[in-house]
Amino acid sequence: MSTLGQKVIYQLYPKSFYDSNHDGIGDLRGIIDKIDYLKKLHVDLIWFNPFYKSPLNDNGYDISNYKEIDPRFGTMADFEELVDKLGEAGIGVMLDMVLNHCSTEHEWFQKALAGDPYYQKFFYLRDPKPDGSLPTNWQSKFGGPAWAKFGDTGKYYLHLYDPTQADLDWHNPDVRHHLQDVVRFWEKKGVKGLRFDVLNVIGKDEHFVDSTNIEEEKALYTDTPIVHQFIKELNQATFGRDPEIVTVAEMSSTSIENSIEYTRPNDHEVDMVFSFHHLKVDYDHGEKWSQVPFDFMKLKRLFFDWQNKMDQGGGWQALFWNNHDQPWALTRFGDPVNYRVESGTMLATAIHLMRGTPYIYMGEEIGMIDPAYHSMADYVDVEAHNAYERLIQEGHSEQEAFAIVHSKARDNSRTPMHWDDSEYAGFSTVNPWLIPTDQRQINVENELAHGSIFNYYQRLIELRRTEQLISEGHFSPLLEDDDQVLAYERYLADQAERLLVLNNFYGTTTTVTLPDHWQGRAVHKLIANYEEEVTLFGDQVTLRPYESLVVKG
Ligand code: GLC
Ligand code: CA
């Protein structure tokens, strides 16, 4: 069995992977049809975004029944077949556990609404303030207030996300027991991995108070001490009993200190965390819905800080550029027009050789980029539409507002997987729920026949399995002041051999002076995105546009 550090995880967005029954929506049978493709990458696990019963207001993150498959995605029998067939291919299934909130269509919420006091204690129901205003001034993460009217009871319920996603009150032990039961239900079906949605916001203070700014507000419900306690309990009651299960928790606006605590093996919480600070380096003063070039030095400092401190503290990170909530990294941090292959493989190198467990989001391995949409009608996501409205209200022109949404919308990465160059990208035979735009050039068929990105990912995955420096090594930053190159080293306790990773983040050539201990050293090239052997270093190394060079020596 591979160790945590040797594993690579693929993320698959079922709604957009492959549509087997021609309704424009990807489904479980579609995934089964494509297992041969999935096998090629040789990943250890696949994390699936939710396909449970749901009104799909937030694409399945609004679950109305935790133990059923939504008919649009298939049946329980399809799911079981998927687990079996992936298992035969040596791939484990990682499921998404959305336990912070459930859909307002869930029977718990419906019973609560109907007046059942037992279920009313499942949610955060509060009276308005004496002046009739909302219980607190908190904002929903998708825009608008975080409180909505609880039927005609005069009370309000808390929703940190969409109004149809009601936050569950984890302070109630019965809620925790029900949720633990959900986790065990899927474990019994042979699931080998669990991804916990927004897990660090489950410990809201029961005494709701107003906030004076957004940072203070987040602190009121994020990473509170009781979250650790809840996770430990969940661990003991469920996955902690099975050493084979891999766990990752999505942590919204978390800190390094907390992330160490969440993941130190002896604390028995989770194996690793997703944190997002490195994906906010193109936010203008912290505002996502803005358009500014990414701040490379900030990105570098964040990587170094997290890698260093997580290493020193014995924590473990999930490594990723892309997921279903982010625009494509290749469009954001690379050059999709002039250097799609070079910048795509450079970004992959930069992240895959760090300390942690890499995640590949479907389509990344063929170099997919943001779709060329032309109007708001092309977007589906509630968040994108709310943001557009707000930008207009704030005085942006329609053109500006659209340009901002275009660059940041979550739908960017939710467009269907490009299988071939046909009208619907080989994803479906009918118009898909989101339309593909660049499939003529970027598609699986093309990539496997003539491309080099997929093959590069295969090699990165293989290297992690075979090179202990990558799977177990410590991390140390290099060339900290260089404003174009991300460089670091990996080394093991014996210090015998080291790994040097150099990544040029821009489309211009640059020369760096190597640290003393690499100058004049005999090296062995492990992987690079330009041809050419390197066997002996001088004092300097010249890197071409978006060049990555990885050597051992
Ligand atoms: C996470 C999911 C996102 C979802 C949100 C609310 O951030 O990744 O897609 O909208 O949680 O469940
Ligand atoms: Ca379908």
pLDDT digit string, tens, across residues 302-312: 999 999 999 99
* Alpha-carbon distances, residue 261 vs 215, 248, 255, 279, 308 (angstroms): 21, 13, 10, 22, 15
CA of 37 to the centre of ligand 1 (A): 27
Interatomic CA distance for residues 539 and 33, integer angstroms: 52
Find the ligand nearest to 24 CA: 2
Find the ligand nearest to 413 CA: 1
Q: What is the pLDDT of residue 495?
A: 79
Alpha-carbon dihedral sign for residues 469, 254, 385, 388:
negative
Q: Which atom of ligand 1 is nearest to 62's Cα?
A: 12
Strand partners, 503: 486, 548
The answer to whether the beta carbons of residues 78 and 28 sit under 8 Å apart is yes
Region 44-61: what's the mean pLDDT?
A: 97
- Of the candidates 34, 11, 152, the one whose C-alpha atom is nearest the C-alpha of residue 426 is 34
The answer to whether the beta carbons of residues 301 and 471 sit under 8 Å apart is no
Mean pLDDT of the chain: 97
Is the shortest distance between the CB of 25 and ligand 1 below 6 Å?
Answer: no
Q: Residue 52's CB: how many other CB atoms inside 10 A?
A: 24
Q: DSSP string spanning 429-453?
A: SS--SS---STTTS-HHHHHHH-SH
What is the tens place of the pLDDT at every residue in 484-517? 999 999 999 987 899 999 999 999 999 999 999 9
- Of the candidates 451, 463, 511, 465, the one whose C-alpha atom is nearest the C-alpha of residue 484 is 511
SS (H, E, C) 13-80: CHHHCCCCCCCCCCCHHHHHHCHHHHHHHCCCEEEECCCEECCCCCCCCCCCEEEEECCCCCCHHHHH
CA of 71 to the centre of ligand 2 (A): 10
Residue nearest to atom 9 of ligand 1 (CA): 325
Q: What is the pLDDT of residue 331?
A: 98
Region of residue 546 (left: phi > 0; alpha: psi -120 to 50; beta: else): left
Q: What is the pLDDT of residue 27?
A: 98
The pLDDT of residue 448 is above 90:
yes
Q: What is the pLDDT of residue 494?
A: 87
Q: What is the pLDDT of residue 521?
A: 96
Catalytically active residues, by annotation: 197, 250
Is the shortest distance between the CB of 58 and ligand 1 below 6 Å?
Answer: yes
What is the tens place of the pLDDT at every residue in 232-256? 999 999 999 999 999 999 999 999 9
The pLDDT of residue 518 is above 90:
yes
Q: Residue 325's CB: how many other CB atoms inside 10 A?
A: 17
Grade residue 68 by pLDDT with cuts at 50, 70 and 90.
very high
Grade residue 2 by pLDDT with cuts at 50, 70 and 90.
confident
CA of 31 to the centre of ligand 2 (A): 10
Grade residue 532 by pLDDT with cuts at 50, 70 and 90.
confident
Matching residue, tokens 């491309």: 451
Ordered by where they begin, the domains of the chain are: 2-101+173-459 (3.20.20.80), 107-166 (3.90.400.10), 473-552 (2.60.40.1180)
The answer to whether the beta carbons of residues 499 and 491 sit under 8 Å apart is yes
Q: What is the pLDDT of residue 21?
A: 98
Grade residue 113 by pLDDT with cuts at 50, 70 and 90.
very high
What is the tens place of the pLDDT at every residue in 351-399? 999 999 999 999 999 999 999 999 999 999 999 999 999 999 999 999 9
- Of the candidates 419, 500, 390, the one whose C-alpha atom is nearest the C-alpha of residue 143 is 390
Region 532-537: what's the mean pLDDT?
A: 91
The pLDDT of residue 219 is above 90:
yes
DSSP 546: T
Tell me the two tokens of residue 463: 């290297």
Q: Residue 495's CB: how many other CB atoms inside 10 A?
A: 8
The answer to whether the beta carbons of residues 66 and 175 sit under 8 Å apart is no
What is the tens place of the pLDDT at every residue in 162-184? 999 999 999 999 999 999 999 99
The pLDDT of residue 209 is above 80:
yes
Tell me the two tokens of residue 532: 């050419």
Residue nearest to atom 4 of ligand 1 (CA): 61
Tell me the two tokens of residue 257: 């200190």
Region 391-409: what's the mean pLDDT?
A: 98
C-alpha 183, offset from chain centre: 20
Choice from 49, 99, 197 to test ligand 1 binding pocket (greatest atom count within 8 A of CB): 197
Grade residue 285 by pLDDT with cuts at 50, 70 and 90.
very high
Q: Percent of the chain scored above 70 by pLDDT?
A: 100
The pLDDT of residue 442 is above 80:
yes
Q: What is the pLDDT of residue 479?
A: 98
Q: Which atom of ligand 1 is nearest to 325's Cα?
A: 9
Region 76-91: what's the mean pLDDT?
A: 98
The pLDDT of residue 1 is above 80:
no
Find the ligand nearest to 19 CA: 2
CA angle 321, 326, 330 (to 5 degrees): 50
CA of 44 to the centre of ligand 2 (A): 26
Provide the H-helix boundaries in 193-323: 214-221, 225-237, 256-263, 296-313
Residue nearest to atom 12 of ligand 1 (CA): 61
- Of the candidates 430, 441, 432, 387, the one whose C-alpha atom is nearest the C-alpha of residue 410 is 387
Is the shortest distance between the CB of 183 and ligand 1 below 6 Å?
Answer: no
Region 258-284: what's the mean pLDDT?
A: 97
In single-letter form, the type of residue at position 168 comes to L
DSSP element (H, E) containing 117 = helix 117-120
The pLDDT of residue 292 is above 80:
yes
Q: What is the pLDDT of residue 186?
A: 98
Alpha-carbon dihedral sign for residues 60, 64, 65, 70:
negative
Tell me the two tokens of residue 537: 């270093």
CA of 311 to the centre of ligand 1 (A): 28
Is the shortest distance between the CB of 95 and ligand 1 below 6 Å?
Answer: no
Strand partners, 476: 489
Interatomic CA distance for residues 221 and 317, integer angstroms: 22
Q: Residue 187's CB: how many other CB atoms inside 10 A?
A: 17
SS3 content of the chain, % helix, strand, coil (to 5): 35, 20, 45
CA of 91 to the centre of ligand 2 (A): 23
Q: Provide the whole-model pTM.
A: 0.97
Is the shortest distance between the CB of 186 and ligand 1 below 6 Å?
Answer: no
The pLDDT of residue 480 is above 90:
yes
Alpha-carbon dihedral sign for residues 386, 391, 392, 393:
positive
DSSP 128: P
Tell me the two tokens of residue 506: 């821009």
